[in-house]
Amino acid sequence: MAAQLHAALTILRRKQVEARTRLSRSAIYAKMRPNPKRPGDYDPSFPKPISLGARAVGWIEHEIDAWLVAQIEKSRPQAHEAEQTFDTKKARRGGKRTDEVGVTR
């Protein structure tokens, strides 16, 4: 039980969060704070840090992992829609089309 609890409560420091998410320090903090000049930076789903001391914070590892999975899931349907849009535009321009049985015309 104690081993499970320890694994579930791994705390990542800022440098580890930067490495895991590939975001800079300023991008991480911009995701946590709304800014009317840059509204696209704010992400209310980004995990909030926890206080580790007077001048130290950390993020819970499984929350960062869950956020990364959500980002992947959000990006995949858009990529699929973009492929369909590209195929439709190509077909309109007279490009080669493939019918249901795979015959290229």
The answer to whether residue 6 scores a pLDDT higher than 70 is no
> For residues 46 and 97, which has the higher predicted lDDT (pLDDT)?
46
Side-chain half-sphere of 32: how many Cα atoms within 13 Å?
13
Q: CA angle, corner 6, sides to 70 and 44, nearest 5?
A: 30
Q: pLDDT tens across 64-103, in order?
A: 999 999 999 999 876 556 666 665 555 556 556 666 666 6
Q: pLDDT tens across 10-35, in order?
A: 999 999 999 999 999 999 999 999 99
Residue with tokens 């590209």: 86
CB contact at 8 A, 21 and 28: yes
For range 44-53, the mean pLDDT: 96
For 59, other C-beta atoms within 10 Å of its C-beta total 23
* Dihedral in degrees, nearest 10, Cα atoms 77, 82, 88, 91: -130
